[in-house]
Amino acid sequence: MSSLASKCADRVDLSPLIAPTSIGIVGVSVSDAHSWGHRVVRVLLDGGYQGETFVVHPRNQFPGVTTVTSISARPNADLIVICVPASAALGLVRQARDSGAKAVVVFASDFAETGSEGEAMQAALVEAAGGMLMLGPNCFGVSNRVSNVKISAAPFLNRPLLPAGPVALIAQSGALGLVLSRYVEESGVGYSHFISVGNEATLTASQIARELLERNEVRIVMLYMETLRDPEVLAAAATRAAELGKRIVILNAGRSDAGRRAALSHTAAIAGNDAYMDALCRDFGIVRIRDDEDVKPTLAALERGWVLPESPRICVLSNSGGAGAVLADRLVEEGARVEALSDATRARIASIGMVGAGDSNPIDIGGGWEAVLGKVQATLKALEADPDLDALMVYFAFGDMIAEKVAPIARYCSELSKPAVFVWQIAPAEGLPMVKTPGILATSMGEGARMIRSYMRVSSTPVASWTNPSASGIQLPAVALGQQTVAELQSAALLTSLGIEVVESVHAAPGDANGLVQKVKARGWTRVVVKANAHDVAHRSRHDLIRIGVPVQDLPQVLQDLGARLDSLSHDPARQLIVQPAVSFEAEIGVGGLVDPKFGPILMIGPGGVDIEAAKGPRHTLLLNTDLATQKRFAHHIEQKFDLAHGTVQPIIDAVGQLLRTTGVTELDVNPMVRTGTGGLMALDALLVVERTDCAEIAEATRI
């Protein structure tokens, strides 16, 4: 079993790390109260820890705390906390293991995050830890507020807080993790656990999330990640969360173009790592947030069980016609719909008698809004009952001298069964403190629209399961020394064998132009596409090796010119020229796949063509390690987006999956595919990228 598969299959008892009964702290300066180790001791004691605490110091006694001269003097401790620089940490971790300790925390930096030397030091640290749990290195510690275990140098953890709440925070950045903990507090929800994982030398954020979900006090796990090392483990955690009725929320860095991988194929590489994370979150029910501002509304929605469809229908109720119009525009920009209310709902609102200037959507209360505040809740109740509405947006400006009448409306919004936001702009000073509904209350129109956007991320869809199908039995064409691509003719033949429709073609060596012309004439083609085919020329359009829309009378000269150019650029002894009929079509679709070292085989479908990098339109990504039901939902979505016949996409998913599970295949580019008259798809081009073979022995065994 691989190490990753082991992480998915094996449970980890985190108790020695997050709920230890005995804690030893090494690297403590007794005299310097500002030193890291000294602060760790103080944070632990001031946080109310009731278990056994001891300090390891060869000479000095720490006031009020049991002090021993070495780790071995207090064997079999649950947890040893190491507060020394990286150069000294390795030996202390080994001593902790030899003493029988069950877990260790290493705060020190200068390990794998610094480069190759640090990576070697970290590998030695892992070896020294052996079977012990190890948090870090380069971490910020642990706070278990249920058991009053606070292992950190941050006095921030002992600030006055809400009672321990249902959120568990896990962060690869200790400082940002603590910032997020404050936002959780301000949401009114509270957190029970905070764990900074640092470099994840042994324990990853995904593993810890999987374990914390099993704890009764945890209903929501919130992750901050800069690198997802084990997508399969995170997927398993999300699947388990769904089984338990719990949720995972993730904020991750690295979403920009800078994170996109370089690849020989175009189509799949365009998507980049951010698309893979999006696909993982979409299919496994993980709520993905974009920044700290998303924390409060996301937690508000999760705590209230609020979910929204992909394009929710929203009603705006406002005491300002202008503000209502601006909010409607903003909500539409976020992907919502602000549509006219049904006649039945308008009649119910009219019977309440509060509407002034307008009762469609947005609803304008009108100039005398102060006089009808007592009717707003009844109106909201009528809107809540409308089956055609998914969410509500309520806007008020001002409210001087009547704040005590406006505030209850905001609190009522937080109690609705449907998602709601209350925007109170330029509220009187005494107004906002009366509301106390974090995640519901906004103070600007922009903030209110962004809160709705946050609600929209809390979807309720079937949760996938992760699968690891075995390698396919497909036999690749022989690969020569140094070869990295399988050209179109051979790649198209593989697609055809897997049931994918490929445009008809004829081909011949560059020196056989006359024979190729005769083949074309025999098929009655009048306008054709001419392409070079060689394993050592991957991007033919860049090398001017494609001609489109060639009249058949011009074919001899085009073949001569293209053949000469191909001969000058390619050393492939099997190089050929391909001729295909010119196919008319409405749109080009790019289908690509690659094998990511972490996420496994991935499929991407989107706009295609020669200029695929510049093509506009969404790219749709599927992790091919998901189950069949998830793949079928993706296929249905693509068929709707591209107006394809039912049953068109699943065979493509199956074929790409088989090819990407073929030993040696790393990427696949089928670009473009075009819609046929029956709503199917036909491939006009294909390219496989394979692992380069630079070994002479392998080359001899697989020579073309």
The candidate with the shortest Cα–Cα distance to 149, out of 209, 81, 206, 55, is: 81
Question: Strands 103-106 and 133-135: what pairing?
Answer: parallel
Which residue is listed with tokens 């394993």?
A: 535
Rounded mean pLDDT, 303-322 = 94
In this structure, are 403 and 330 located in the same domain?
A: yes
pLDDT of residue 260: 43
CATH of the domain at 525: 3.30.1490.20
In a domain, 606, yes or no: no
Contact 452, 336 (CB under 8 A): yes
**683 has pLDDT over 50:** yes
What is the distance between the terminal CA atoms of the chain, rounded to a whole angstrom?
35
Average pLDDT of the residues in 28-52: 96
Compute the average pLDDT of residues 436-454. 94
- The domain spanning residue 353 has which CATH number? 3.40.50.261
Band of residue 697 on the pLDDT scale cut at 50, 70, 90:
very low
For residue 242, which phi and psi values (nearest 5 degrees)?
A: -65, -40
Last residue of a domain, one of 529, 547, 580: 580
Instruction: Write the DSSP symbol of residue 122.
Output: H
Q: What percent of the chain has pLDDT over 90?
A: 84
Three state DSSP letters for 190-230: CEEEEEECCCCCCCCHHHHHHHHCCCCCCCEEEEEECCCCC
Tell how strand 22-26 and strand 79-82 pair up. parallel
Give the helix/strand (H/E) hosting 495: helix 488-497
SS3 633: helix
Burial of 565 (0-12, 13-18, 19+ CB in 10 A): middle
Examine the domain organization and report whether 133 and 174 are in the same domain. no
Indicate if the pLDDT at residue 353 is higher than 80.
yes
Q: Band the pLDDT of 254: cuts 50, 70, 90.
A: confident
Whether 571 maps to a domain, the answer reads yes
Is the pLDDT reported for residue 230 higher than 60? yes
210 and 324 in a common domain: no
Q: Can you tell me the distance from the alpha carbon of 682 to that of 379, in angstroms, rounded to the nearest whole number?
A: 54
- 210 in any annotated domain: yes
pLDDT at position 350 is: 87
pLDDT at 436: 87
> Residue 23: inside a domain, yes or no?
yes
- Domain co-membership, 310 together with 414: yes
Q: Mean pLDDT check: name the lowest of 218-227, 294-303, 607-616.
A: 607-616
Residues 175, 127, single domain; the answer is no
**Which pLDDT does position 268 carry in this prediction?**
46
What is the SS3 assignment for 255?
Answer: coil
Asked whether residue 700 carries a pLDDT value surpassing 60, the answer given is: no
| Cβ atoms 562, 547 nearer than 8 A | yes
Say which CATH number the domain at 90 has: 3.40.50.720
> Mean pLDDT in the chain?
92
Tell me the two tokens of residue 408: 């209850």
pLDDT of residue 5: 43
Of 422, 456, 490, which residue sits at a domain end?
456
**Pair 358, 254 in one domain:** no
Same domain, residue pair 321 and 430: yes
Instruction: Assess whether 100 and 41 both reside in one domain.
Output: yes
Nearest-CA neighbor of 534 among 493, 608, 581, 483? 483
Is the residue at 279 inside a domain?
Answer: no
Share of the chain above pLDDT 70, in %: 93
Confidence of residue 368 (pLDDT cuts 50, 70, 90): confident
- Please enumerate in sequence order all residues whose Cβ is within 8 A of that of 656, keeping only pairs 6 or more positions apart, or say none: 591, 593, 601, 603, 624, 668, 670
Query: What is the spatial distance between Cα 319 and Cα 355, in angstroms, rounded to a whole number?
Result: 10
Assess whether 185 and 128 both reside in one domain.
Answer: no
Domain final residue pick, 540, 555, 580: 580
Q: What is the DSSP letter of 337?
A: B
Per-residue pLDDT at 58 exceeds 80: yes
Residue 272 has pLDDT above 90, yes or no: no
For residue 607 the two structure tokens come to 């706009």
Q: Report pTM.
A: 0.91
Mean pLDDT of 345-371: 83
Which residues, 6 or more positions from 111, have their beta carbon under 8 angstroms from its beta carbon? 86, 118, 119, 121, 122, 125, 137, 138, 199, 201
703: tokens are 């020579």
Rg (CA), the chain: 31
Look up the domain containing 224 and give its range.
Answer: 160-259
Is 145 part of a structural domain of the chain? no
Q: Which residues have a Cβ under 8 Å from the Cβ of 419 and sit 6 or more positions away?
A: 301, 304, 306, 307, 308, 312, 390, 391, 392, 452, 455
Residues 439 and 508 in one domain: no
Q: Is residue 551 part of a domain?
A: yes
How far apart are the C-alpha atoms of 129 and 121, rounded to whole Å? 12
Best CA proximity match to 88, nearest among 102, 71, 101, 103 = 71
Instruction: For residue range 83-138, list pLDDT tens digits in order.
Output: 999 999 999 999 999 999 999 999 999 999 999 999 999 999 999 999 999 999 99
CB of 166 closer than 8 Å to CB of 128? no
Measured N-to-C along each axis, helices 649-660 and 628-641 cross at an angle, to the nearest 10 degrees, of 130
131 and 166 in a single domain? The answer is no
Tell me if residue 164 falls in helix, strand or coil: coil
Model confidence band, residue 701 (pLDDT cutoffs 50, 70, 90): very low
pLDDT tens digits, one per residue of 475-529: 999 888 888 999 999 999 999 999 999 999 999 999 999 999 999 999 999 999 9
The amino acid at residue 266 is: H
Query: What is the per-residue pLDDT for 609?
Result: 76
HEC readout, 414-468: CCCCCCEEEEEECCCCCCHHHHCCCCCEECCHHHHHHHHHHHHCCCCCCCCCECC
Compute the C-alpha angle 426/432/435, nearest 5°: 135
Is pLDDT above 70 for 4? Answer: no
pLDDT value at 662 more than 80: yes
Asked if 680 contacts 501 with a C-beta cutoff of 8 angstroms, the reply is yes
Per-residue pLDDT tens digits for 140-178: 999 999 999 999 999 989 999 999 999 999 999 888 999
- DSSP one-letter string for 556-593: HHHHHHHHHHHHHH---TT-EEEEEEPPP-S-EEEEEE
Q: What is the pLDDT of residue 585?
A: 86
Residues 6+ positions from 200 with CB-CB distance below 8 Å: 172, 229
Q: Is 281 a member of any domain?
A: no
Structural domain tally of the chain? Answer: 4
Same structural domain, 116 and 172: no
Position 672 pLDDT exceeds 70: yes
Residue 616 pLDDT? 65
